[in-house]
């Protein structure tokens, strides 16, 4: 077993040009989101790649032009050996026309120990490494006892949870690895939820009535919704400061849990008293919290603020949380993910990393969010582990270290092999 595995790991070095070529091919697929609806060709490539390696393919449209691909390779003894999901998103960050790229963003450059191109770090490097590991296992004729599932999903960059759709479709396993950008750290994450808070008047008034609303003896019970939203924003700031004082989580700087007033919309035009104002907020929360929990905390606090205002008491703020797409409905959810450092799969992944990289594995928390939280939300133990760093993710001249890509491929190869040979 060990000799066979060591031979495969050495092949990653010997055949690194093939690995680099696979990443170059993935980068060449133009899959930025936004605009999205452009992953069909890339997903068909991945589906065909997996099918050639013996995987049964499930491909379906989440949105027109944006299909998910799930490949399932049944193990020889799936009932008694551990199962694994490898997950990654095929969409990449948007590219603006005026960005000063060294070369066209979807024409990869290989030089000076790096691969440059949109998606190299986030996260086609992780996809390429995991696919190449599967290729090596297949070519060696190795049949895992445990089931292996590969998920290539869409929409992560714009809050379109392709991974959630996989969970809804019934895909599960004893463990999942999201091969997203982590600089080869084994990571959990906090969560993000967006929400809309609406302040709305039951009546609409001409702007000439303002004097009667705000001066003594006017006897008109009304208000400007924009001005009342100022009280809501102040209440959110108070709650944000309270969270910073009262909440913490290892690995995060104090106050990482934030409530950001991101967009405000209100009023009709200058001849009206503003009868509606809408505030779009982005909320970051810790790995040991849920998006339902933080939404309830915000609602409870803001409704208490409204109770202290005579007009808001009669016209309480309304709340809408989350959404399935930043493109389609201007909302998103990324659940949090806690990693159990003592879980047997995490220990196996740590061991795989340490034997390949010759450095102690780091288990920590990501400063950003990935699809990993959807596994935690579905009750599937999971971790984020992939090549690339956040300084390069979404950046002009995005790049990934070839050395790190090779290390990742060796680690994920070793982990797939060893976890697939672990008894339940």
Active site (catalytic) residues: 91, 156
Token digits for 394? 């979404």
> What phi and psi, each to the nearest 5 degrees, are found at residue 408?
-60, -45
Token digits for 422? 């672990």
Identify the H or E element spanning 245.
helix 225-246
Distance CA 412, CA 124 (A): 15
Burial of 254 (0-12, 13-18, 19+ CB in 10 A): exposed
Could you write out the DSSP letters of every residue in 8-19? HHHHHHHTHHHH
Backbone Cα Rg of the chain: 25
What secondary structure letter does DSSP report for 327? Answer: T
**Rama region for 121: left / alpha / beta (φ>0; ψ in -120 to 50; rest):** alpha
Token digits for 277? 């104002």
Cis peptide bond upstream of 123, omega within 30 = yes
> What phi and psi, each to the nearest 5 degrees, are found at residue 188?
-100, -165
Could you write out the DSSP letters of every residue in 382-412? EEE--S--TTTTT-TT-EEEHHHHHHHHHHH
Distance CA 414, CA 43 (A): 25
The dihedral over CA atoms of 16, 17, 20, 26, expressed in degrees to the nearest 10, equals -130
Token digits for 116? 């440059």
Q: Is 124 helix (H, G, I), strand (E, B) or coil?
A: helix
What secondary structure letter does DSSP report for 325? Answer: B
Please report where in the chains the tokens 């209100």 appear, as a residue. 266
């Amino acid at each position: 077993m060990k000799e066979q595995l060591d031979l495969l790991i050495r092949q990653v070095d010997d055949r690194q040009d093939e690995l680099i070529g696979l990443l170059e091919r993935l980068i060449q697929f133009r899959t930025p989101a936004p605009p999205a609806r452009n992953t069909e060709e890339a997903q068909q490539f991945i589906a065909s790649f997996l099918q050639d390696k013996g995987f049964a393919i499930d491909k379906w449209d989440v949105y027109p032009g944006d299909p998910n691909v799930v490949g399932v390779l049944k193990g020889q003894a799936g009932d008694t050996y551990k199962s694994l999901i490898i997950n990654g998103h095929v969409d990449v960050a948007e590219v603006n026309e005026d960005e000063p790229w060294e070369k066209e963003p979807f024409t990869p450059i290989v030089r000076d120990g790096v691969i440059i191109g949109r998606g190299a770090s986030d996260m086609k490097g992780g996809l390429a490494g995991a696919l190449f590991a599967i290729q090596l296992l297949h070519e060696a004729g190795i049949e895992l006892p445990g089931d292996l599932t590969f998920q290539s999903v869409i929409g992560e960059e714009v809050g379109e949870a392709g991974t959630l759709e996989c969970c809804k479709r019934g895909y599960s396993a004893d463990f999942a690895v999201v091969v997203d950008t982590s600089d080869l750290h084994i990571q959990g994450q906090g969560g993000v939820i967006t929400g809309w808070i609406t302040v709305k008047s039951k009546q609409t008034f001409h702007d000439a009535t303002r004097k009667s609303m705000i001066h003594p003896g006017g006897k008109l019970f009304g208000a400007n919704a924009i001005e009342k939203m100022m009280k809501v924003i102040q209440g959110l700031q108070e709650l944000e400061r309270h969270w910073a004082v009262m909440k913490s989580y290892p690995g995060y700087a104090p106050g990482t849990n934030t409530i950001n007033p991101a967009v405000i919309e209100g009023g009709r035009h200058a001849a009206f008293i503003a009868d509606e104002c809408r505030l779009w907020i982005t909320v970051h929360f810790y790995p040991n919290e849920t998006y339902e929990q933080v939404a309830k905390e915000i609602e409870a606090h803001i409704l208490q603020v409204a109770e202290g205002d005579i007009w808001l008491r009669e016209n309480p703020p309304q709340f809408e949380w989350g959404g399935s797409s930043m493109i389609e409905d201007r909302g998103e959810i990324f659940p949090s993910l806690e990693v159990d450092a003592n879980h047997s799969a995490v220990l196996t992944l740590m061991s795989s990393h340490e034997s390949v990289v010759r450095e102690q594995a780091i288990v920590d928390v990501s400063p950003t969010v990935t699809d990993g939280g959807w596994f935690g939300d579905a009750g599937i133990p999971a971790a984020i582990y992939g090549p690339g760093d956040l300084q390069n993710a979404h950046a002009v001249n995005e790049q990934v270290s070839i050395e790190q890509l090779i290390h990742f491929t060796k680690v994920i190869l070793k982990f797939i092999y060893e976890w697939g040979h672990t008894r339940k």
